[in-house]
């Protein structure tokens, strides 16, 4: 069993993944921004549930927008558990609205959480993983970077950046025995606060100039819900189960990419071709060994 750190564990995919991996026997550090404040009730519930079930789950503060916070969280894991085997990059936020109406500060803030946040956590965790020459980075991405739905412009861009950082980082860390798996969920409209807590654009003046499109924006959640076949739901548990399956596989056998999409948008086919094209180009550059896990 592994020692696992998960970002963004207060709700949705992060919380379900923490619960699922702890139930599977892993030692789980479920992190959230403010477990002593606004996340206190959720943190207490998560810990109490784990104690009742005899699972090894602990809650640690981690704000992915702060390198100091990321460093402190990893340090806590190492001090308590003595090692760290797996990092699950799950923290993220959703923006809904007209792309033009998001200010540069809006977009920068979203990229700070959705893309740079994972980079900060990697900078905190990778020194330990590289020293051990072992470990796994699991990135919870999004099919939106392929499907590019309307009215989610900055979010789609940030998840594309997140995916790109995961890929290019994988070339380097693979040479230190560190595996990468990118799990790409499709739209999940139930069991998460993703849509309910989405932020809107700051520039009200520009937003007002798009007013004729407001009915379309307002039904963004409904539009995603109608993608599913009758009787089918997209549940965060599906993603948690996939992460559990991946971590149960032998070292060196974990998939580089996995799509979990109840909307059946065909993203797995696009990404399979994309990854094959990318790998062929990397080989042409003379860097083929970077595509293989060095053990």
pLDDT at 223: 84
Residue-wise DSSP of 210-273: TGGGHHHHHTHHHHHHTTSPTT----HHHHHHHHHHHHHSPTT-S-SEEEE-TT--SHHHHHHH
- Indicate the average pLDDT of the chain: 95
Write down the catalytic residue from 29, 98, 139, 155: 155
Above 90 in pLDDT, residue 286? yes
Structural domains counted in the chain: 1
152, with CB counted inside 10 A (0-12, 13-18, 19+), is: buried
Q: Find the CATH number of the domain harbouring 61.
A: 3.40.50.720
Instruction: Determine contact, residues 177/252, Cβ cutoff 8 Å.
Output: no
Predicted TM-score of the model (pTM): 0.96
**Distance from C-alpha of 244 to C-alpha of 93, rounded to nearest angstrom:** 23
Q: What is the mean pLDDT of residues 8-28?
A: 97
Catalytic residue status for 155:
yes
Q: Computed over its alpha carbons, how large is the radius of gyration of the chain?
A: 19
Q: What is the pLDDT of residue 99?
A: 97
Helix (H) or strand (E) holding 3: strand 3-6
Question: Could you tell me the residue range of the domain that residue 259 belongs to?
Answer: 3-291
| 3 contacts 247 by C-beta, under 8 angstroms | no
Within 133-209, residue ranges assigned H as helices are 144-147, 153-173, 204-209
Q: Which pLDDT score, from 0 to 100, does residue 227 have?
A: 83
């Amino acid at each position: 069993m592994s020692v696992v750190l998960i970002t963004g564990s207060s709700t949705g995919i992060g919380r379900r993944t923490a619960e699922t991996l702890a139930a599977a026997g892993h030692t789980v550090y479920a992190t959230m921004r403010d477990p002593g404040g606004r996340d206190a009730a959720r943190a207490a519930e998560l810990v109490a549930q784990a104690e009742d079930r005899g699972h090894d789950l602990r809650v640690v503060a981690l704000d992915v927008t702060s390198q100091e916070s990321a460093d402190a969280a990893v340090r806590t894991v190492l001090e308590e558990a003595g090692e760290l085997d797996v990092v699950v990059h799950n923290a993220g936020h959703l923006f809904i609205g007209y792309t033009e109406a998001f200010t540069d500060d809006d977009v920068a803030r979203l990229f700070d959480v959705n893309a740079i946040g994972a980079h900060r956590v990697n900078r905190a965790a990778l020194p330990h993983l590289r020293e051990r020459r072992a470990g796994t980075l699991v990135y919870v991405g999004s099919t939106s970077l392929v499907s590019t739905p309307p009215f989610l412009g900055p979010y789609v861009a940030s998840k594309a950046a997140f995916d790109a950082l995961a890929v290019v980082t994988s070339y380097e860390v693979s040479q230190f025995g560190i595996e990468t798996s990118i799990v790409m969920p499709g739209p999940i409209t139930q069991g998460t606060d993703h849509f309910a807590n989405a932020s809107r654009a700051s520039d009200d003046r520009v937003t007002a100039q798009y007013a004729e499109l407001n009915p379309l924006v307002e039904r963004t959640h409904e539009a995603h819900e109608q993608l599913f076949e009758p009787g089918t739901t997209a549940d965060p548990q599906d993603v948690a189960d996939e992460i559990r399956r991946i971590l149960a596989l032998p070292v060196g056998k974990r998939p580089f990419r996995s799509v979990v999409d109840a909307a059946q948008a065909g993203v797995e086919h696009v990404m399979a071709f994309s990854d094959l094209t990318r790998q062929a180009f990397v080989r042409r550059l003379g860097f083929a060994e970077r595509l293989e896990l060095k053990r």
